[in-house]
Structure 1
């Protein structure tokens, strides 16, 4: 099944970088819409697809309901203020599930496509002060991307447009202009390819450390997080952000649920990929070890 991130988040396209960051670092995310389950299910799968070739290793539920066997487990986990430590992406349509929203760092509220259903917006609770809430709000016959400002005391009926820089990376204006052009017919493929290459650029600084883990006298060594962060040489868009923000992003990824499975796969397959070429040549030929 082809994932369609642009189709799922067209009116929130400039927030895709924040969703990529959340999925990459294995941080909790809730996607809510009062519409049919297929809408939130496709959105959840689209988020997981953004971090390819890293495999999302958290618990992602395209359609999570109060009837799921572990709903009570998550309800209790949230009440103990532990939701922020869980790598989950939930797609929900039942407003009752929004009790979880208060402890989710990022929530995406996809509003109904039909104007007569817009009253659902008034039932949404105000977020906690530490939360980012991305809201689609009907404006006339179109949907407008909006952000509920934490702690402002205002309801979602009067959304405020978000500023740039919701995440570590700003949205790529050139990409947004290209995919929003009227003659662009492959928006989803374009977005998937962009984030695939963005993830490769993010992973590239790990290459020298993969070599140290799998070759020479250092074979069998463990991954040294402190050494990696101290010697970090980011490339691509990551070289344009502050070193502190960059190190923090890599640290979040390393602490997250996706890193260890990805690293284990690289260590087990890296020597075989380099048998007929130097590690650097293998990377240049294939983008980066997958």
Structure 2
């Protein structure tokens, strides 16, 4: 997985002053403009109005190169302007902070909070073109994608060459950005800054990442093909697109991103997969202690993805260090830990986060037979320091009974050395079916809150959704609960009660309520378009007719701004209605009402 974000771009320069205050030298950042408003808008015209580096900013906020200085420690050597106040975080998050070695090339990702963004031409453009984007793109975080190289080098004082190429973005597409780094990083380590400048120029010619489109992205002599997902994509469906050029790599972007292949060190917790699914579903505070940043970020991203198609609505940090700005917030013992999944590698966290309720410790596994020793959930007091064994440390008691079938299937795969891609497919299908079984009763009940279509009158405000009443929902579970689609037994009622108090339910229900409210607005608009307005206004005064025109114009603006799910031709019909009503008025009023509305 991976994510990223925009703002200003400067050419890579050597660090000489405080980078937060230093401007780029050769490539000037784009100045701010505001795109002219207009409902709907011609996307090609809007693309043409984008300034230099706006297309780059649609994909990447910046590119950094982080090296190791014997006196300063981690330091940014080359950069483009990064988010204010994040220099230290990016430096430390771009290097492993454990004793895992990490010789050779390592890829991982991190995530950090995003500050307030200024309105740029790009921001206005994205507002009008990316309304179909999935919710995961609308979160206030940046993602850092890291390609770290550590090799022996006797010519250096430290004895090792250590450097990271880092892409900072708002986009949560790990597979895509890791693939991009595999092309860029080896070239950079060989040819240094000039190849980064060439890559930036390539990216600035890319089309903006419109949801639902297949995009051709040339980069350093290679062509990538991607499809950006939309909020309407069904989970589990293939996004695969056949490439016309056999040698053109195809990157399949999905939303939410599929879990990466589970690292071998994750195998000891296979016995607790179902419990981990419950902990993620309920938004519990969870720590993953891993031997390396790659295993940390892979495991956290796999956990976040395991409740798809539900979106994980709490915070998660694939790789977290003691230098992070939220360190004090997450390690204080004066209040309960927040709803977040942390991935850490520094042994110091074994002590600092010992008060957290759920801790997963993953580590190298010497042989598959050791899995049998990891079956029991361990008590938190047994989590000491470096000598702690892999496993799950928690006092949590799962609501559902353990699914022995999936455990046997995965264990057999380990013993037979089944490819990780096959193991991953089994896991993904299992979690998808489990989550769908859980969410179907909720979807069914929420659909019943929708007013009947016959209750929609064109001359009254759209009816309101009925409220979600927990007791009423619980009553539906007896006959239409998850037992209809899942073989699992256990306290489903208790699990639902807990879930209804979680951030994930709040996020899901807010999104569903918004969708259903927009559907009611669309049905109301369609009912209005079917009315004979010419006949209706014959009974109206001139003032009432003008008021009707203004209300219809507001309806049209709302429908275009929110992209209401109306039938094709509805908005054209509404425009014709508005024009017809205006023509019944005196010429002086017609001239006033024909003037475009200032948004």
TM exceeding 0.5: yes
My pick for the range that moved more, 198-207 or 228-237, is 228-237
Residue 287 (structure 2) aligns with? 30
* Number of residue equivalences: 240
SS class of match (2:321):
coil
Residue of 263, 266, 277 corresponding to 1:20: 277
Change in 2 beyond 3 A, CA 1:104/1:75: closer
Residue 87 (structure 1) aligns with? 339
Residue 107 (structure 1) aligns with? 359
Asked if 2 retains the 8 angstrom alpha-carbon contact of 1:214 and 1:267, the reply is: no
Residue 167 (structure 1) aligns with? 398
Residue 477 (structure 2) aligns with? 232
Bigger share in helix: 1
Are 2:326 and 1:74 aligned? Answer: no
Asked if 2 retains the 8 angstrom alpha-carbon contact of 1:149 and 1:160, the reply is: no
Asked if 2 retains the 8 angstrom alpha-carbon contact of 1:148 and 1:160, the reply is: no
Residue of 54, 69, 76 corresponding to 2:310: 54
Inter-partner Cα distance in structure 1 for 2:430 and 2:510: 25
Change in 2 beyond 3 A, CA 1:94/1:146: farther
Q: Spell out the pairing of 1:132-171 with structure 2 (5 A cutoff).
A: 144-145=373-374, 147=376, 149-150=378-379, 167-171=398-402
Structure 1 gaps, min length 5: 114-136, 276-290
Change in 2 beyond 3 A, CA 1:158/1:264: closer
Inter-partner Cα distance in structure 2 for 1:65 and 1:151: 21
Asked if 2 retains the 8 angstrom alpha-carbon contact of 1:7 and 1:188, the reply is: no
Structure 2 gaps, min length 5: 1-174, 176-257, 456-462, 523-599
Q: Which structure has the higher relative contact order (CA within 8 Å, separation 6+)?
A: 1
Q: Spell out the pairing of 1:185-196 with structure 2 (5 A cutoff).
A: 185=419, 186-196=422-432
Change in 2 beyond 3 A, CA 1:146/1:173: closer
My pick for the range that moved more, 94-103 or 60-69, is 94-103
Once the two structures are superposed, residues 122-167 of structure 1 have per-residue CA deviations (whole angstroms, 9 ceiling, x without a partner) of: xxxxxxxxxxxxxxx76799565254643887979697999xx952
Inter-partner Cα distance in structure 1 for 2:300 and 2:353: 16
Once the two structures are superposed, residues 66-91 of structure 1 have per-residue CA deviations (whole angstroms, 9 ceiling, x without a partner) of: 10011112223xx11311xx211000
Inter-partner Cα distance in structure 1 for 2:361 and 2:281: 20
Once the two structures are superposed, residues 175-204 of structure 1 have per-residue CA deviations (whole angstroms, 9 ceiling, x without a partner) of: 233333327441101111111111010011
Change in 2 beyond 3 A, CA 1:230/1:212: same
Change in 2 beyond 3 A, CA 1:189/1:67: same
Residue 489 (structure 2) aligns with? 241
Asked if 2 retains the 8 angstrom alpha-carbon contact of 1:29 and 1:107, the reply is: yes
Inter-partner Cα distance in structure 2 for 1:197 and 1:190: 11
Change in 2 beyond 3 A, CA 1:161/1:71: closer
Are 2:505 and 1:259 aligned? Answer: yes
Asked if 1 retains the 8 angstrom alpha-carbon contact of 2:314 and 2:339, the reply is: yes
| Distance apart, 1:5 and its partner CA | 5.8
Change in 2 beyond 3 A, CA 1:19/1:5: farther
Asked if 2 retains the 8 angstrom alpha-carbon contact of 1:213 and 1:219, the reply is: no
Asked if 2 retains the 8 angstrom alpha-carbon contact of 1:5 and 1:50, the reply is: no
Residue 202 (structure 1) aligns with? 438
My pick for the range that moved more, 137-146 or 7-16, is 137-146
Higher CA-based Rg: 2
Inter-partner Cα distance in structure 1 for 2:357 and 2:399: 15
